Structure 1
Amino acid sequence: MLCLQRIKTYLVCLLVLALLSSCDGLFKKDEEKEPLARVGDVFLYKEDVAALLDDSISEQDSAIFVTDYINNWASKQLLLSKSKINLPEEKLSEFDRLVDDYKSDLYTRAYVEALVFNAQDTSISRNQLMSYYEKEKENFKLSEKLVQLRFVEIPTQFLDREGVKQRMADWSASDKEYLDSIAVQFNKIHFNDSVWVSASRVMEEIPPITSFNEEEYLKKSQFFELQDSLEVYLGKVTDVLEVNDIAPYEYILPEIRQLIINRRRLDYVKKLKTEIIDEAIQKKEFEVYETN
């Protein structure tokens, strides 16, 4: 019996020592956090600032950074402390509510975005795109002139300037084939005259055409020959759409695709909110109390 009592006493002593050792370890872990500054009961620790330091900067620059950071941190803490003392209670309550709302929005937005990303269907058929365009085309009014044209930019000393000019104007199959064959001699080329291009983009590519003279050169069936100090620009405008005309399907296609994806996203989020409330009601996790 005495032996058993000694064993129990020995085990209790071991347990107490283990607990003391464990607590000592915990206290030491806290003591290892080296404070850099204190404002009231709030401490700034060395490890908080260390994570912000870049190993590539010098010791002197690091010291300057740390000093500035401590001063900024201290001023914020002091101002925060003063504000809590001096601002009206209703204003503090309003700010606390705004902070809670902002925090809630951050969490929920990140969660919803992750769900949308995983569930999002970005495949859109041509029929869907065309159907959307036909349905909404009145909302796709142009805010800028569009043109279809072909043009080349050649050096001023180009030898067969007249030949290129004639072929650009005639534009038979043989003319296009020939110009394609010597395209390496041109500074710029744009032969795909079925593509709609904004007038502003044309002005970027052909500097002699400006907002002051575009009406003269950017009109349907217009052939132009322009020159600056370095280059000659030869071109033929095949078609024009003016401001407030309906945007062509090909030109507006990327926007239509994004609009459809955005609409799907909104529909999914709406469905998600409905489903999550229905599920919570079924599980009795959410209920609304009747009030007079």
Structure 2
Amino acid sequence: MRTKPSCEGLSNCYFCGMSILQNNRVFLLISFGLLVFTSCDSLFKKKVEKEPLARVGDSFLYKEDLTSFIRDDMSAQDSALFVTNYINNWASKQLLLSKSKINLSEEKLNEFDRLVSDYRADLYTRAYIEALVLQAQDTAVTTSQLRQYYEKEKENFKLNEKLVQLRFVGLPTQFLDKDEVIAKMKDWGDADKRYLDSVAVQFKKIHFNDSIWVGASRVMEAIPPLTPMNEEKYLKKSQFFEIQDSLGVYLGKVTDVLEINDTAPFEYISPDIRQLILNRRRLDYVRRLETEIIDEAIKKNEFEVYEKDE
């Protein structure tokens, strides 16, 4: 009696090959399905749902929208109060916005949309241009360039405030050597300056650099008894003054004065001139940049203007 051959251990058996292949295929399909299911399941688990704090219509305010505003030094009470106020403000804006879209005309809404779009474009382009300017702008301005600009535009640099050159000290009301200080302030020789420097720790205020120009308003801030009502009396060229209030005595020597509408001195106006030069360079750079951008776009066929049909 012929027995059926055993296929056990035979990987290339003709008679059992189909069933073996089928079994392997089923096993592979099941394994692949489990792998996909497991992978998808892990993907879904990794997805973090946003935590909503409030809703107005279809708009949501999420917890992560506020995280950057919460400071580490805030107490729990302060944080809670801030979040409550923020939510209420947000909700108020959203509700007003939704009502405005309903009640404003279509023409007005389109106008506002255009303004918002223009403003958004301006923000982006301005930030980009400023970054380019900071990279490329030459901020070095020589004294020669400042002087040349000053001489060219001198007539345009008229003062809108009185300027003075002076030296002054503020003394306590009971200062014992006031007469000595007055004599030294008037004479102003090298020995006088050394003496004043040696006793300067006893002064309440001190300004010995009488070669710089100072606005009259700044002088009045430094010397409270000086006011717009009496500054004409004390702030005169070559004037020595003594003036006091309940807090102290002020001794001053005015060496020079420039009145309103006089030409501003170079030393006083040079910081403004430097800024004017830098602003002009910036404008020139921006104009050149805009021209180069358009020219490059035309060459690359990224920009063209269509002729209108007559």
TM-score bracket, shorter-length normalisation: 0.7 to 0.9
Letter in 2 for 1:238: T
Greater CA deviation, 74-83 or 109-118? 74-83
Aligned pairs for 1:130-279 (under 5 A) are: 130-279=147-296
Query: Percent identity between the aligned chains?
Result: 71
Letter in 2 for 1:253: S
> What is the aligned-residue RMSD (CA, Å)?
2.6
Greater CA deviation, 120-129 or 189-198? 189-198
Distance 1:13 1:105, change over 3 A: farther
How far 1:135 sits from its partner (Å)? 0.9
CA distance, structure 1, for counterparts of residue 267 and residue 114 of structure 2: 48
Distance 1:203 1:71, change over 3 A: closer
TM-score (norm 2): 0.83
Greater CA deviation, 1-10 or 110-119? 1-10
Does residue 72 in structure 1 map to residue 82 in structure 2? no
- State the SS of the aligned residue for 1:142: coil
CA distance, structure 1, for counterparts of residue 52 and residue 239 of structure 2: 76
Does residue 114 in structure 1 map to residue 165 in structure 2? no
- State the SS of the aligned residue for 1:239: strand
| 1:188-237 Cα shifts (integer Å, max 9, x gaps) | 22222111111111112222221111111111111112222342222211
CA distance, structure 2, for counterparts of residue 110 and residue 67 of structure 1: 33
* Corresponding residue of 1:104: 121
CA distance, structure 2, for counterparts of residue 59 and residue 230 of structure 1: 47
CA distance, structure 1, for counterparts of residue 283 and residue 296 of structure 2: 20
Count, aligned residues:
292
- State the SS of the aligned residue for 2:275: helix
Distance 1:33 1:6, change over 3 A: farther
How far 1:161 sits from its partner (Å)? 2.0
How far 1:145 sits from its partner (Å)? 0.4
Greater CA deviation, 168-177 or 51-60? 51-60
| 1:120-179 Cα shifts (integer Å, max 9, x gaps) | 211111100100111111111111000111222222333332222122222233333332
* Corresponding residue of 2:108: 91
Q: Rg: which structure is higher?
A: 2
How far 1:81 sits from its partner (Å)? 2.5
Distance 1:222 1:25, change over 3 A: same
CA distance, structure 1, for counterparts of residue 307 and residue 26 of structure 2: 62
Letter in 1 for 2:90: W
Gaps of at least 5 residues in structure 1 are none
| 1:47-93 Cα shifts (integer Å, max 9, x gaps) | 33444434544445444443443333333333323332332211111
Alignment counterpart, residue 303 of structure 2, candidates 265, 277, 286: 286
CA distance, structure 2, for counterparts of residue 140 and residue 271 of structure 1: 29
Distance 1:73 1:217, change over 3 A: closer
- State the SS of the aligned residue for 2:55: strand
Alignment counterpart, residue 40 of structure 1, candidates 57, 80, 85: 57
Distance 1:11 1:126, change over 3 A: farther
- State the SS of the aligned residue for 1:123: coil
TM-score (norm 1): 0.88
Does residue 128 in structure 1 map to residue 145 in structure 2? yes
Gaps of at least 5 residues in structure 2 are 1-16
CA distance, structure 1, for counterparts of residue 33 and residue 308 of structure 2: 56
CA distance, structure 1, for counterparts of residue 140 and residue 289 of structure 2: 20
